[in-house]
Amino acid sequence: MLADKKILLCVTGGIAVYKAVVLVSKLSQAGAQVKVVMSRSAMQFVQPLSFQVMSRNDVYWDTFDEKESSVIAHIDLADWADLILVAPTTANFIGKLANGIADDMPSTILLAATAPVWIAPAMNVHMYEHPAVLRNIDRLYEDGYRFIEPSEGFLACGYVGKGRLEEPERIVELVDAYFNESRDLPLAGKKVVVTAGPTLERIDPVRYISNFSSGKMGYAMAQAAVEMGAETILISGPVSLESPKGVKLICIESAAEMLDAVLDYYQDADYVVKSAAVADYRPMTVHDQKMKKKDGTASIELERTTDILKTLGAQKTTQRLIGFAAETTDALTYGKGKLESKNLDWIIVNDVTDPNGGFGSDSNVVTLVSRDGVEHPFPAMEKKELAKQLLKAIVQEGKRSL
């Protein structure tokens, strides 16, 4: 699968180092050329000899140990790699890398690297959720690093939670997908922003206005974008869904927060898929204390929220803007009107009363309508498969209209 691909594995110190030995074995069996660089902390868990045997290459750990006098090792290794994996990656190493510190062999190599770098964190769940660690991850993401998110489960420290190094078999699958030229990656090198789920507009500390959106369609669109090679940012309202692997997840609550988050990434986006069900109205007054029940009727005065899709359409330059129209009557008519009035490139129209789709369902049936009026009806299918078909159609038609 990975014949002749050059993969540099940087191993930092944590109990998950034993999985890195398996990872080297799996990558080598798949045909890759693997070289390993270790931090000194990693060597406390596994000796370099294990990696040397599995990779059939020298193992590096000392910046000043030049094994070949004709080259400078940390520069040569950085230039050699087609892909650099850091697995496992500790909180300490993430912090060093985010701040440009190069005080050992792995960190020095990464500062000299021009190849793609994938980081696979592994640590205690509370460490992974610490604001400093999350801040450093965000900085590295903005710098172009990509992350293989840790999985949830029993951790070596005894906790149960998110922090387990992703399994070697899964990492090999991701690497294979990246390199396999036969794989359909029409969004490689593109940045895709996806919004998903409902927004929540507070009335008081215990009540709010929202809707029935589950976020499933938006999450499926984000997963499809990643699998098609895109750098993907998923901006999500409150949902009960697991974040798709490989996306940058930004959680918001209100329509105003979603607008701010989308605008943060809009300028550099190639495609924006606006699948979130954003509240059209919010309470004019948000009460600090719970509103007490009274006899008789009650009323809440509402005001319009900012129309995010219309705002994006007005600011559009080179972005391709895709909206959703969830309707209950005359779906196509209303969808086409939204396509025109909000300056969209495509609108995905679905009748939420259709028993084969709608809010909360695992399937959907939609019609994709393009700017030039071409309609692409899609029969009922699982949202994950539908998302792939929609993005493929959008990319293909976009190429024709360039």
SS (HEC) of the chain: CCCCCEEEEEECCCCCHHHHHHHHHHHHHCCCEEEEEECCCHHHCCCHHHHHHHHCCCEECCCCCCCCCCCCHHHHHHHHCCEEEEEEECHHHHHHHHCCCCCCHHHHHHHHCCCCEEEEECCCHHHHCCHHHHHHHHHHHHCCCEECCCEEEECCCCCEEEEECCCHHHHHHHHHHHHCCCCCCCCCCCEEEEEECECCEEEECCEEECCCCCCHHHHHHHHHHHHCCCEEEEEECCCCCCCCCCCEEEECCCHHHHHHHHHHHHCCCCEEEECCECCCEEECCCCCCCCCCCCCCCCCCEEECCCHHHHHHHHCCCCEEEEEEEECCCHHHHHHHHHHHCCCCEEEEEECCCCCCCCCCCEEEEEEEECCCCEEEEEEEEHHHHHHHHHHHHHHHHHHCC
On whether the pTM is more than 0.85, the answer is no
- How far apart, in whole angstroms, are the C-alpha atoms of residue 146 and residue 231? 9
- Residue 87 Ramachandran class (φ > 0 left, ψ -120 to 50 alpha, else beta): beta
Structure confidence at residue 45 (pLDDT): 93
Check residues 354 and 44 and name the one with the higher pLDDT. 44
pLDDT over 70 for what percent of the chain?
93
pLDDT digits (tens, 9 = 90+) for 30-77: 999 999 999 999 999 999 999 999 999 999 999 888 888 778 888 989
Mean pLDDT value of segment 245-253 = 91
pLDDT band at 351 (very low <50, low <70, confident <90, very high): confident
157: annotated active-site residue: yes
Mean pLDDT score of the chain: 89
Q: Are 383 and 362 in contact (CB under 8 A)?
A: yes
- Which residues share a beta bridge with 38? 11
Check residues 182 and 200 and name the one with the higher pLDDT. 200
Q: What are the start and end residues of each CATH 3.40.50.10300 domain in the chain?
A: 191-285+301-400
Which fold does the domain 191-285+301-400 belong to in CATH?
Rossmann fold (3.40.50)
Structure confidence at residue 328 (pLDDT): 79
Residue 292 pLDDT more than 50? yes
Check residues 50 and 143 and name the one with the higher pLDDT. 50
Mean pLDDT value of segment 139-168 = 78
pLDDT band at 350 (very low <50, low <70, confident <90, very high): confident
pLDDT band at 363 (very low <50, low <70, confident <90, very high): confident
- How far apart, in whole angstroms, are the C-alpha atoms of residue 4 and residue 236? 39
Residue 172 pLDDT more than 60? yes
Structure confidence at residue 399 (pLDDT): 56
Check residues 183 and 149 and name the one with the higher pLDDT. 149
pLDDT band at 252 (very low <50, low <70, confident <90, very high): very high
Residue 3 pLDDT more than 70? yes
Which residues make Cβ contacts (< 8 Å) with residue 162, sequence separation at least 6? 125, 128, 129, 149, 150, 151, 152
Structure confidence at residue 281 (pLDDT): 94
Kindly name the residue from 157, 160, 286, 374 that is annotated as catalytic. Answer: 157
Check residues 158 and 252 and name the one with the higher pLDDT. 252
- How far apart, in whole angstroms, are the C-alpha atoms of residue 336 and residue 371? 9
Mean pLDDT value of segment 293-321 = 93
Structure confidence at residue 153 (pLDDT): 66
Q: What are the start and end residues of each CATH 3.40.50.1950 domain in the chain?
A: 6-179
The CATH class given to the 6-179 domain equals: alpha beta
Check residues 157 and 26 and name the one with the higher pLDDT. 26
Amino acid at 282: R
